[in-house]
Amino acid sequence: MARITIIGAGIAGLWQAFRLAGEGHAVRVFEQSATPFEAAASRLAGAMLAPFCEGEAAEPWITGLGRLSLPLWREAFPQTVANGSLVVALPRDLSELWRFANMTSGHRRISADEIEALEPALTGRFGQGLYYAEEGHLEPALALDALLQRLRASGVELKFSAPCDPSQVEADWVIDCRGMAARADLPALRPVRGEMLIIETSEIAFSRPVRLLHPRFPLYIVPWSGNRFMIGATLVESADTGPVTLRSALDLLGTAYALNPAFGEARLVRFAADLRPSFPDNAPRIILNGRHIYVNGLYRHGFLLAPVLAELVARYIKDGTIRQDVFVENYGEWRAAGDARAHAR
């Protein structure tokens, strides 16, 4: 049994703690914020478990890892919804639908009647769509809290209001899941700003996430409990942590209205923005620096990939197994390359 310290209690850190505690290790978690998830980018996630849809802009191995995460989520969080994903486009943007279909797998093309059967609220709105039956989604706040309660019940030591210097930790292993807070150690890390909106209405019901494709970027709407819907999310190359911009608000609101004008009567519950930690290729990495392991760069794949990244770290600690497409074995070279990119910007 190893003594393992995890720094950061967002979705990546919680899954690392959950998996490693399940292996029988003595795990403690340090989080700098006083309130759970107060500073975690994962609190604003869409939490779509959509490995096939993400294949539109990600490497095939990310789709493969994402598929491995789906059963892990269902086992750890029974409230995981497995109703698939629906992708649609307005008539003027049908070319985007076919482009999306060509760049992804795991879908079937469906007609207006099939769209209506899946989502009656979209009756008469779209003539064609793509249905990804194997995908799912969950509500971030509920899933994060469930993991936290599981950790408490299993005896994991949780320390909040506890900033932690990794170099000062006494442990057999340190798992660093600080996201953007680790940028000084990982100069290749960059922020990608994401903005989202939560609305509330009892007039419309969805059973699954719906993506509306657009030539600039796809936006999506995810059903939550309490007649709420999360609409997101923009992708802006910016380190700005300020409020949602007017342009982004219009894009997000326009998505809901284009899906069904009845959303025009919905209540605006919340606008929010945060920064996603991303590496240059938008793919996550497990970076080895002796017994200090960084798990970072989850970009917009945090909920999708956190479970399987925890599996990979647990396997590495157990027997040294690595996946070449995910692990970085030479931290010094990795950091030097990141420094060079940072100076070139």
pLDDT digits (tens, 9 = 90+) for 111-151: 999 999 999 999 999 999 999 999 999 999 999 999 999 99
**Is 285 inside a domain boundary?**
yes
Angle 282-136-47 (CA atoms, 0-180°, nearest 5)? 50
Q: Is the pTM here over 0.85, yes or no?
A: yes
Owning domain of residue 152: 3-45+139-183+280-344
Same domain (yes/no): 335, 228: no
Q: Is the predicted pLDDT of residue 338 greater than 70, yes or no?
A: no
Answer yes or no: do 199 and 337 share one domain. Answer: no
Same-domain pairing of 177 and 204: no
Residue 285's φ and ψ, nearest 5 degrees, are -140, 145
The pLDDT, as a whole number, for residue 159 is 92
pLDDT-based confidence at residue 340 (cuts at 50, 70, 90): low
Give tens-digit pLDDT for 154-176: 999 999 998 888 888 889 999 99
Residues 169 and 291 placed together within one structural domain of the fold = yes
Residue 339 has what pLDDT? 63
CB 284 within 8 A of CB 309: yes
Task: Give the domain CATH number at 270.
Answer: 3.30.9.10
If asked whether residues 173 and 259 sit together in one domain, one would say: no
For residue 342, what pLDDT band results from cuts at 50, 70 and 90?
low
Asked, for residue 62, whether it belongs to a domain, the answer is no
Asked if residues 158 and 275 have their Cβ atoms less than 8 Å apart, the reply is no
Work out whether strand 219-224 and strand 292-296 pair parallel, antiparallel, or are unpaired. unpaired
Helical H runs in 104-187?
Answer: 112-118, 140-153
Domain membership flag for residue 55: no
Whether residue 73 is contained in a domain is answered as no
Angle of the 302-319 helix axis to the 60-76 helix axis, nearest 10:
90
184 CB neighbour count, 10 Å cutoff: 8
Domain count for the chain: 2
Q: Flag whether 68 is in a domain.
A: no
Confidence of residue 69 (pLDDT cuts 50, 70, 90): very high
Mean pLDDT across the chain: 92
pLDDT band at 235 (very low <50, low <70, confident <90, very high): confident
Alpha carbons 211 and 325: distance in angstroms, whole number: 29
pLDDT at 344: 59
The percent of residues in the chain predicted with pLDDT above 70, rounded, is 98
Please check whether residues 177 and 217 belong to one and the same domain: no
Are 24 and 41 in the same domain?
yes
273 and 203 within one domain: yes
Which CATH number characterizes residue 23's domain? 3.50.50.60
Residues 20 and 37 in one domain: yes
Confirm whether 61 is domain-assigned. Answer: no
Nearest Cα neighbor of 229 from 191, 190, 203, 247 is 203
Q: What DSSP element (H or E) covers 224? A: strand 219-224
Rounded Cα–Cα distance for residues 23 and 47 (Å) = 26
Whether residue 74 lies inside any domain: the answer is no
- Please indicate, yes or no, whether residues 195 and 269 belong to a single structural domain of this protein: yes
Q: Highest-confidence range of 34-38, 117-121, 271-275, by mean pLDDT? A: 117-121
Say whether both 331 and 272 belong to one domain: no
Cα distances from 282 to residues 152, 184, 257, 298, in angstroms, run: 32, 18, 30, 8
